Structure 1
Amino acid sequence: MSSYLNKQPPPPPPPRAAHAPPAPPPTASSSLAPPQPRRGHRHAQSVHYNDAPDLDFSQHRQPAAAKRDRASSRVSSSGSTPPARDSASPAPMVPAAPPEGSLPTYQPPPPPPLEPTLERRLGPRIGEFRFPADVLSFKQIDPAVPLKLLLLFVPGNPGIVHYYRAFLEALRDALPPDLRVATEMSIIGHLRHTPDAKDDRGYKPTDQPTLEEQVIDKVTYIELLAVQHKLGREGSPKLVVLGHSLGSWIALQLFKHVPQHITAMHALFPAFSHLATTPNARRLGRVLSPWSLRPLYLTSSAISYLPTSVSARLVRTLGGISDLGADATLAFVQSPEAVLASLVTAQQELAQITDLETDVLERYGDRVWIYWAAEGVDGWTTEEAIRECEEVLERAFGEEGRKRRKRCVEGMPHAFVLNEAHTASLARKCAGWIVDDLSALESKDSKTEETAAASENEQDDEKKDTA
């Protein structure tokens, strides 16, 4: 350590001469020397694409001269005079103005559908009485469009129209847009199946409409539609009747009275025949007996005095009703007169819906679409009744009518309207059937027009030959 500290610093470098000789040229290994070509490799100077005016990598790229012109124009805008453009240089690209009328006119979207309106109408006079019935109407979305389609839904028992509101809305949404805005729909309830009715109250089991009177009421309503919309005339809308359960049987009876007004009928889980032999009828036999009417009427009266929250909880718990039909069911069970009317109608169903309407199916079955439940799922029909109906339609229409009969593979129950998924699925199926029928009618009408035109031409030719 002491030897290191005592060591003297190195001497300074000698002074530089005034005229030093020039530095030797760099050697080949120096980094300042230009790269030497390797053996066997020809060196070529790289060319950037901006320096090559002949290169064009895009059909929209302009040559380098045009780029220089654009740069000159920018410089000239600052105060100098722009140079004269060469005649060979392309003119600057200026977007041409669109020709007048080329832009499509703005089409506003159709207005949203109106809320359905509930009307309590009086049916036809039957003896001394005119019984009330509910009608839930869905007006046309765009009244400026000519009306093309009328949908009339006939519900099952108890016939509460609000049960089927979601189904008809889904059916309308499933139609093609041009047909959707030109469709009007309605649900017609059964006579005296009117919740919240304030008039004619009391326990009156004998003062109830019969099944025949229920059919007459629907016939009267269709006749009113026929007068209002001029059904059957050229350009008039087509009427499609949809029926569920008991409503399918009533819709089938309509062919006896107004077949000229009905384009097609959809029977959804129909109760066409032998209703008393079904599993549900046997299970509910005691409930539907005459002595049980008064206790059930009094029970409904007691429920109507309960708070709404308590009644709603009872309906959801005891009845297993989903939110889709809970409100309609609550309004029904709180109306003793509507409950009584529904029970009397059920008694009449078991007593009168026995034999199959074979003659009606043989004559009008080509206008009927039938949707049966899967085997063992629907408690309001039997496999024997389904087989009997299928045999009649098979004899009458064969392969042509076979495509109009469907069997459910989704496990839908008889009360399909209480499930939103089943409601939407069956609505899409019905929309497809409607489109098929209307397309077939249009094709038939066009062929008829062609045949008529050909016949007129033949008659004109015969007249010319005779002359």
Structure 2
Amino acid sequence: MEVPSFLQPQVKQQSQSVYVHSIFQHSKLLGASKTIWWPNTDPRTVVLFIPGNPGLSEFYIPFLSALYQQSSHTCILAQSHLGHTEEATAFVYDLTAQVFAAIEAFDALTQTYPAMKFIVIGHSVGSWIALQVLKARPSEVHSLFLLFPTITNILDTPNGRSFFRAFRPPFPYIISRSSLLLHPFYPRILPVLFPEWPRAQLDVLLRLLRSPSCIEACLSMAHEEMNSIRKLDINLLKTHKHRIHMHFAETDGWVGDNKDLILRSFKADIGSVKVVHGDHGIPHAFCINHSQELADQCARWMSE
């Protein structure tokens, strides 16, 4: 299975696999990121997917594979966050670096596949990063799909407040190093704590928990999100309202009352933004057990 020249295949792929695990080499200051590539020999649409936090593209394999199967003439690149996987060496992994990494991946796609439609999909904080890609490359992003978007006042949400109190620095470092003591117990603990999780998703979480550096990167980035993502960029949303699609949960501890704030910011223009509210009771962490429903929704948006 071929990959574009800007990707390095990571491992030998199984013949029945529709995707390729790969590495994207960024500029020297950033290092590399883990990626997954869904190819197409006759693409007309190119999708860049940006995950939430933890930013592990493997969590989204069921979702993106389902979307890929429904979307003909489409290729997809899922990019893990810098520092969140051991497969790729990152030199920095703060929020600004994640934005630059996403822009570099988007630029590689546009240079390799000119004259295509480019869709950027972001989940949770990945939605905020996706908006920064749109801001940097406004003439090249055709559509933006924001899934459970945490794009403003994360610290003022129920989950944000709880997280901020529990994981103040230096706790990310302490917790990441303390995780080493639990390594022998993770295979038994995780199925008990998350009995509804599929085995493949538990394996992704297990790989994360066995890497102190990745745990620290995820927790540090989350703390930075609380401090940095505060004011809603209303002008950006209103300027590009015809390109934006949003999916909200009925109840979301990471979004809270910000959903109303986001929707009110459009005022009379809300009809220009395609919004879905609480469809099928899908939770914020949709990639665990509700991948098909979100793939169906994104496929409907793409068909429009």
TM-score (norm 1): 0.59
* Equivalent of 2:46 in 139, 150, 156: 150
Tell me the equivalent position of 1:418. Answer: 288
Read off the aligned partner of 1:211 and give its amino acid letter.
L
Aligned to 1:173: 69
Provide Cα deviations, 1:351-402, integer angstroms capped at 9, x if missing partner.
000010111101112101001110xx2110122x21221122233x24333x
CA distance in 2: counterparts of 1:398 and 1:219, whole angstroms:
28
Q: Which of the numbers 297, 314, 337 marks the counterpart of 2:176? A: 297
Identity value in percent:
26
- Of 34, 40, 43, the residue aligned with 1:134 is 34
In structure 1, the partner of 2:271 is 399
The answer to whether residue 144 in structure 2 is matched with residue 265 in structure 1 is yes
Q: Offset at 1:325?
A: 1.1
SS in 1 for 2:165: coil
Which residue does 1:92 correspond to in 2?
none
Q: Distance in 1 between matches of 2:110 and 2:141?
A: 10
Residues 196, 336 of structure 1: alpha-carbon distance in 2 compared, 3 angstrom cutoff = farther
Any conservation in 1 of the 2:172–2:215 contact (CA below 8 Å)?
no
The match for 1:218 is 102
Aligned length: 289
- Measure how far apart 1:338 and its partner are: 0.7
Which of 112, 120, 125 is residue 23 of structure 2 equivalent to? Answer: 120
Partner of 1:453: none
Structure 1 residues 343 and 400, CA, compared in 2 at 3 Å: closer, same or farther? closer
- Structure 1: gaps spanning 5 or more residues: 1-111, 201-206, 231-235, 437-467
Deviation per CA, 1:305-337, whole angstroms, max 9, x where unpaired?
x2xxx4222122234561241111011101111
Query: C-alpha distance in 2, partners of 1:399/1:194?
Result: 39
Q: Is the 8 A contact 1:208 1:344 kept in 2?
A: no
Q: Decide which of 156, 180, 199 is 1:277's aligned counterpart.
A: 156
1-structure distance, mates of 2:82, 2:222: 13
User: Are positions 1:435 and 2:303 aligned together?
Assistant: yes
Q: Which structure 1 residue ranges, 4+ long, deviate > 6 Å from structure 2?
A: none
The superposition leaves residues 169-209 of structure 1 with CA deviations (integer Å, 9 ceiling, x where unpaired) of 1112233xxxx2x2111101111111356x68xxxxxx743
* Aligned mates of 2:221, 2:271 — CA distance in 1: 37
SS at 1:242 equivalent? strand
Query: Cα RMSD between the aligned structures?
Result: 1.9
Higher relative CO (Cα under 8 Å, sequence separation at least 6) belongs to: 2
Deviation string 1:407-446 (CA, Å, 9 cap, x unpaired) is 0142211101111xx211111111010010xxxxxxxxxx
Q: What residue in structure 1 maps to residue 3 of structure 2?
A: none
| SS of 2:37 mapped into structure 1 | strand
Superposition pairs of residues 304-383 of structure 1, within 5 angstroms: 304=183, 306=184, 310-320=185-195, 322-323=197-198, 324-374=200-250, 377-383=251-257
Structure having the higher Rg: 1
Q: 1: distance between equivalents of 2:201 and 2:17?
A: 21
| Structure 1 residue corresponding to 2:84, chosen from 172, 179, 193 | 193
Whether contact under 8 Å (1:192, 1:341) holds in the other structure is yes
Deviations 1:187-232 (A, max 9, x none): 01111111356x68xxxxxx743212211111111111111111xx
C-alpha distance in structure 2 between counterparts of 1:406 and 1:315, whole Å: 32
**Contact 2:37–2:78 (CA<8 Å) still a contact in 1?**
yes
1:240–1:264 CA contact under 8 A, matched in 2 = yes
**What are the equivalent positions in structure 2 for 1:242-253 lying under 5 Å apart?**
242-253=121-132
> Which of residues 163, 169, 174 is equivalent to 2:59?
163
Indicate the structure with greater strand content: 2
Tell whether the 8 Å contact from 1:288 to 1:346 is kept in structure 2 after alignment.
Answer: no
Taking structure 2 as the reference length, what is the TM-score of the superposition? 0.89
The structure 1 residue matched to 2:119, chosen from 214, 226, 240, is 240
- Counterpart of 1:386 in structure 2 is 259
Gaps of 5+ in 2: 1-14
Measured in 2, the distance between the counterparts of 1:113 and 1:316 equals 28
Distance in 2 separating the partners of 1:320 and 1:273: 32
